[in-house]
């Protein structure tokens, strides 16, 4: 096994180009080198140190974790208020109920923990903080439920790695709910299911609140479906530092793809996939280094896109690019706020760690690094309790 100093120096070489200031680069290098030379270091401590290092040099899309230790979670999801963590969803630990207020972590108040973990919380406003990882290294929590107080020892559960797109219909409105880092095949399958929904539907909801897909080609493929059918549009890519590879995208450009919607009722599933994946290029232009030229494919008159602080990576870039569409209405809360990235890749280091980082780490960021909704839904404890139903609170009568 390589010593921690050697591992640190390797990771540093992978990321040092993100630090512009030479003096700052040297100071950060020396500060963390002194830490990793400690004889008391463990793999877990090394991981925490390196993730703090990534924060200090501004690499928000970079992280490191143990290779052979599975990700874990504490069986609940929470959302922060000023002085508590509100349980918004119970995943595995049925001792908790939705609405519980966690007021202390391992005996310390939330306010104190907020100061201790300010790096991991990224100095975000409290309603945008992410506490899931912090909960995994706490021993116990103090919970306020109505006028009662409870203390629970935290348990660990495996992280559900299933990434899904659920297609449902409510009140004649199709709803596509994206969860996690979806695959390209899942995006195609979701469009196939959407195409089978009756043409009388003039409105559709795309729920991107938990969308975190890291493959940029998925975002590029979905873009035309958020613009009115037949409209010619151009999307600039350089302002987000996105590098496009022409060869990789040849199969994504199809001649007159909109006819799939008209013919879908007469197609079986095999025919649909064959058309969508194997059709010749036709009159479609390939991506160049600066822009994407396409023709809008949406048959809907209004597209509601739900966003939140967990809308990130390529999903956030997609939302940023479709916001100008005349038929898109963004609803929810501001997105993650890290639009300057490339595709995320993973590298195994010393058969002990997995380093996740963009293909090119760039220190530049675009001017508007957060996508703001057209219709803002302020977060509160009340919204924590009904968050799953926000998409149904939209007026669907139009």
- For residues 40 and 74, the model is more confident at 74
The per-residue pLDDT for 100 is: 94
**Residue-wise pLDDT tens digits, 256-309:** 344 454 555 555 655 655 555 544 333 333 344 467 777 888 889 999 999 988
Mean pLDDT of the chain, nearest integer: 77
The per-residue pLDDT for 263 is: 57
Sheet with 328-332, strands from edge to edge, namely 164-170, 173-180, 203-211, 302-307, 328-332, 375-376
The per-residue pLDDT for 138 is: 93
The band of 366, judged by pLDDT with boundaries at 50, 70 and 90, is: very low
Q: What is the mean pLDDT of residues 183-196?
A: 85
Counting residues of the chain whose pLDDT is more than 90, the rounded percentage is 25
- Please choose, from the candidates 102, 88, 3, the residue with its C-alpha nearest in 3D space to the C-alpha of residue 43: 3
The 10 Å Cβ neighbour count of residue 222 is: 22
Please state, in angstroms and rounded to a whole number, the distance separating the CA atoms of residues 98 and 296: 41
Q: What is the mean pLDDT of residues 346-363?
A: 74
Integer-rounded Cα radius of gyration of the chain: 23
Q: How many Cα atoms occupy the beta-carbon half-sphere of 120 within 13 Å? A: 17
The CATH T-level fold of domain 164-341+364-392 is: 2-enoyl-CoA Hydratase; Chain A, domain 1 (3.90.226)
The per-residue pLDDT for 101 is: 94
Distance of CA 358 to the CA centre of its chain: 14
Orientation angle between helical segments 43-56 and 4-15, nearest 10 degrees: 20
The CATH T-level fold of domain 72-158 is: Pdz3 Domain (2.30.42)
pLDDT over 90 (residue 126): no
Residue pair 340/366 in contact (Cβ under 8 Å)? The answer is yes
- Please choose, from the candidates 320, 302, 303, the residue with its C-alpha nearest in 3D space to the C-alpha of residue 311: 320
**Residue-wise pLDDT tens digits, 59-71:** 767 888 888 888 7
Counting residues of the chain whose pLDDT is more than 70, the rounded percentage is 74
Helices (H) and strands (E) in the chain, counts: 12, 19
The per-residue pLDDT for 231 is: 83
Please state, in angstroms and rounded to a whole number, the distance separating the CA atoms of residues 178 and 164: 6
Q: Is 201 exposed, middle or buried (0-12, 13-18, 19+ CB in 10 A)?
A: middle
Q: What is the mean pLDDT of residues 300-323?
A: 90
- For residues 218 and 360, the model is more confident at 218
The 10 Å Cβ neighbour count of residue 133 is: 16
Q: What is the mean pLDDT of residues 327-350?
A: 79
Residue pair 325/232 in contact (Cβ under 8 Å)? The answer is no
Q: What is the mean pLDDT of residues 117-133?
A: 81
**Residue-wise pLDDT tens digits, 144-180:** 998 999 999 999 998 877 789 999 988 888 999 999 8
The 10 Å Cβ neighbour count of residue 380 is: 12
The per-residue pLDDT for 257 is: 43
pLDDT over 70 (residue 342): no
pLDDT over 50 (residue 349): yes
- Domain extents in the chain: 4-59, 72-158, 164-341+364-392
**Residue-wise pLDDT tens digits, 10-21:** 888 877 766 666
**Residue-wise pLDDT tens digits, 34-67:** 999 988 889 989 998 998 888 777 676 788 888 8
Q: What is the mean pLDDT of residues 118-146?
A: 86
The per-residue pLDDT for 336 is: 80
pLDDT over 50 (residue 379): yes
């Amino acid at each position: 096994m390589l010593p921690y100093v050697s591992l640190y120096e390797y990771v540093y070489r992978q990321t040092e180009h993100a630090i512009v200031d030479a003096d700052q680069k040297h100071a950060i290098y020396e500060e963390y080198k002194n830490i990793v030379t400690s004889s008391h270091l463990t793999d877990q401590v090394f991981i925490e140190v390196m993730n703090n290092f990534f924060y200090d040099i501004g690499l928000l899309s970079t992280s490191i974790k143990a290779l052979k230790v599975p990700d874990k979670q504490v069986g609940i999801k929470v959302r922060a208020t000023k002085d508590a963590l509100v349980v918004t969803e119970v995943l595995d630990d049925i001792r908790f109920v939705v609405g519980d207020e966690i007021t202390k972590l391992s005996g310390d108040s939330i306010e104190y923990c907020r100061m201790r973990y300010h790096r991991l919380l990224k100095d975000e406003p409290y309603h945008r903080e992410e506490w899931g990882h912090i909960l995994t290294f706490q021993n116990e929590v103090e919970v306020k439920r109505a006028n009662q107080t409870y203390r629970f020892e935290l348990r660990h559960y495996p992280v559900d790695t299933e990434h899904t797109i659920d297609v449902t219909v409510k009140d004649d409105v199709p709803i596509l709910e994206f969860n996690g880092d979806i695959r390209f095949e899942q995006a195609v399958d979701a469009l196939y299911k959407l195409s089978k929904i009756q043409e009388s539907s003039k409105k559709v909801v795309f729920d991107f609140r938990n969308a975190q897909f890291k493959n940029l080609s998925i975002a590029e493929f979905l873009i035309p479906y958020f613009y009115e059918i037949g409209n010619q549009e151009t999307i600039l890519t350089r302002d987000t530092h996105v590098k496009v590879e022409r060869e990789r995208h040849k199969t994504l450009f199809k001649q007159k793809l909109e006819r799939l919607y008209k013919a879908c009722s007469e197609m079986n599933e095999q025919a649909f996939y064959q058309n969508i994946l194997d059709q010749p290029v036709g009159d479609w232009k390939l991506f160049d280094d600066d822009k994407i030229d396409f023709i809008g494919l949406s048959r809907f008159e209004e597209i509601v896109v739900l966003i939140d602080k967990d809308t990130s990576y390529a999903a956030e870039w997609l939302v940023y690019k479709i916001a100008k569409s005349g038929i898109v209405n963004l609803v929810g809360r501001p997105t993650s706020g890290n639009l300057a990235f490339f595709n995320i890749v993973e590298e195994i280091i010393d058969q002990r760690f997995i380093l996740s980082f963009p293909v090119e780490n760039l220190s530049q960021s675009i001017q508007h690094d957060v996508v703001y909704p057209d219709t803002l839904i302020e977060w509160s404890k009340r919204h924590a309790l009904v968050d799953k139903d926000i998409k149904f609170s939209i007026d669907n009568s139009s």
